């Protein structure tokens, strides 16, 4: 027994199937990236429940602002927000940078749900 008490399991000891409390709950992710049909260009105003402090209007034609908006939406973990504000094509094309901007729980949940095209190396034939 360690100093955290009986039954405690360190993060490294948890099995991969244990969901993170920082990632989306089961059923919050879309069943397919094609369900994500949010805006792809122009200005987007996020509602207060998403952008309650600071910038609320994002120009999707500016990669830096697009990435910032996607990070906000991805970390809210709400299906309705994913469907309204994310686009599957943009998510896929920007995922290599986005995956570094979100926490492990969010990153793992999305990459487990959509290995190709989101998980690095997934779908590649073994050499």
Mean pLDDT computed over 51-72: 95
pLDDT tens for 82-126 read 999 999 999 999 999 999 999 999 999 999 999 999 998 866 554
- pTM for the whole thing? 0.78
pLDDT of 7 reads: 54
Looking at the chain, the whole-number percentage of residues with pLDDT higher than 90 is 68
User: Is 8 a residue whose pLDDT tops 70?
Assistant: no
DSSP string, 29-91: S-SSGGG-B---SSEEEPPTTT--SS--EEETTSHHHHHHHHHHHHHH--HHHHHHH-BHHHH
């Amino acid at each position: 027994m360690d100093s955290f008490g009986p039954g405690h399991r360190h993060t490294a000891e948890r099995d991969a199937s244990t969901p993170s409390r920082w990632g989306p709950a089961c059923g919050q992710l879309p069943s397919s990236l094609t369900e994500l049909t949010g805006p792809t260009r122009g200005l987007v105003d996020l509602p207060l429940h998403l952008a309650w402090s600071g910038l609320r209007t994002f120009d999707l034609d500016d990669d830096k602002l697009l990435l910032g908006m996607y990070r906000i939406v991805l970390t809210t973990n709400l299906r309705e927000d994913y469907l309204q504000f994310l686009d599957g094509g943009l998510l896929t094309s920007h995922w290599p940078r986005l995956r570094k901007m979100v926490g492990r729980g969010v990153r793992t949940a999305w990459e487990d749900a959509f290995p190709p095209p989101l998980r690095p190396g997934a779908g590649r034939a073994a050499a």
